[in-house]
Amino acid sequence: MLNGIDALTGKSNFDISESIILRLLDLFSSYRGTLAMLCKTAIARNIVQIFREKNYRVASLRALKIDAPSEFGAAVDACLFVMELGAANAERICRVASLENPANVMRVYGWSQDKFVSDVNRYLKNCELDGESPLVWRQGIKHDGASVMELNVENEETRNGLGDVVQVEEENLYWLFKSSDLRTFNAGPPTKKIIVTQTRIGQSTAHLKTTAPKLWRYLQKHAEQFEKRKSSIYRSKPRFSIFGIGDYSFTLYKVAISGFYKEPNFTLVGPIDNRPVMLDDTCYFVGFANYRDALLTATLLNSEPVKEFLSAIVFTDSKRPYTKEILMRIDLARAAELLSLEMLSDFWKRVGYQPQTVVTESDLADFKNKLSSPKVTHQLQLAI
């Protein structure tokens, strides 16, 4: 069951096959037998995740992957989900293999040490990093109006998605990075700007009529685009409202990741013309007041221990593999204990990055101390 913003923004993913399987388990899990059903791999995963709350007597769970596009003409990850019922010793893990070669287990996912993980064996080797991030991860700006709110910049000309030249107050325009811009360690030059109508969620936008009259006229001209937004999060909110906006959005330095890509890459994002760069809602980020802390955090997140840990808890076949929930599980303080100045230098050399400042042993020690402090949010990030 999802509540609040998660349900409103579409985190729910109802599928009737999930209800059917759960109903069958309610009725027959205590009887000896075998249950096998074709379903999406995500549904099999949801079922296994629910098992911690249920007393189903099941064991030998297998997700035997099938080629759904070839067999059924369906562009979806699917499997034959099989389990033995009436087991004396219930299991809370699922073995992944192919239907053609069911004996060749690729990985095992499920519950391990009271945590739900994508690879049990790999998790056991990296579980010391499973905790709570001392830094708060945020999602980028959500507006559901790309054709009007996102502007393409080319040859010093700014156009919206409708092809119209847009001339509004610059103080309400910010450079924008989307998921496709976060493929490297250091973000390249952006090509888009975003209109920012608020500095916090729920803030009145009426003042724009006098503080930004050009923008106000532009928004009024395209008011219908905003009225068409289907998400219920905009109901009873000021006109032209956006979400994913707050003090954290205006931090000068950020470390960001796309929520969509299978391989994690954490990108260092700095200011342009001493103004913060914004991210869209396909991205997650942590914000910083200074370059050095952002640099060290980005490097730490791209380190092998963190990458290995993420590979043990992330389901890459998910629509959005990297979420705030996943990222908040990274215990950066513990991960930083494994970091050395030599590792930093080796990484920067490997990715071809030249830091803008010298980083000393003292700087690294200070960074580690900040991460271990209970007041880390205020020491590394702006107060949020």
This model's pTM is above 0.85? yes
Residues 143 and 49: their CA atoms lie apart, in Å, by: 32
Q: Where are the domains of the chain?
A: 4-112, 138-380
pLDDT at 87 over 70: yes
Q: What is the pLDDT of residues 261-301, one digit of tens each?
A: 999 999 999 999 999 999 999 999 999 999 999 999 999 99
pLDDT at 146 over 50: yes
Give Cβ neighbours of residue 49 (< 8 Å, ≥ 6 apart). 116
Q: What is the pLDDT of residues 33-50, one digit of tens each?
A: 999 999 999 999 999 999
Q: How many CA atoms lie within 13 A of 214 on its CB side?
A: 10
> Strand 138-139 and strand 58-66: pairing?
unpaired
Predicted confidence at residue 76, as pLDDT, reads: 87
In sequence order, what DSSP letters do the residues of 225-294 get, joined into one string?
HHHT---GGGTTS-TT--BS-SGGGG-SEEEEEESS-SS---EEE--BTTBPPEEBTTEEEEEESSHHHH
Say which residue, 372 or 197, is predicted with more confidence. Answer: 197
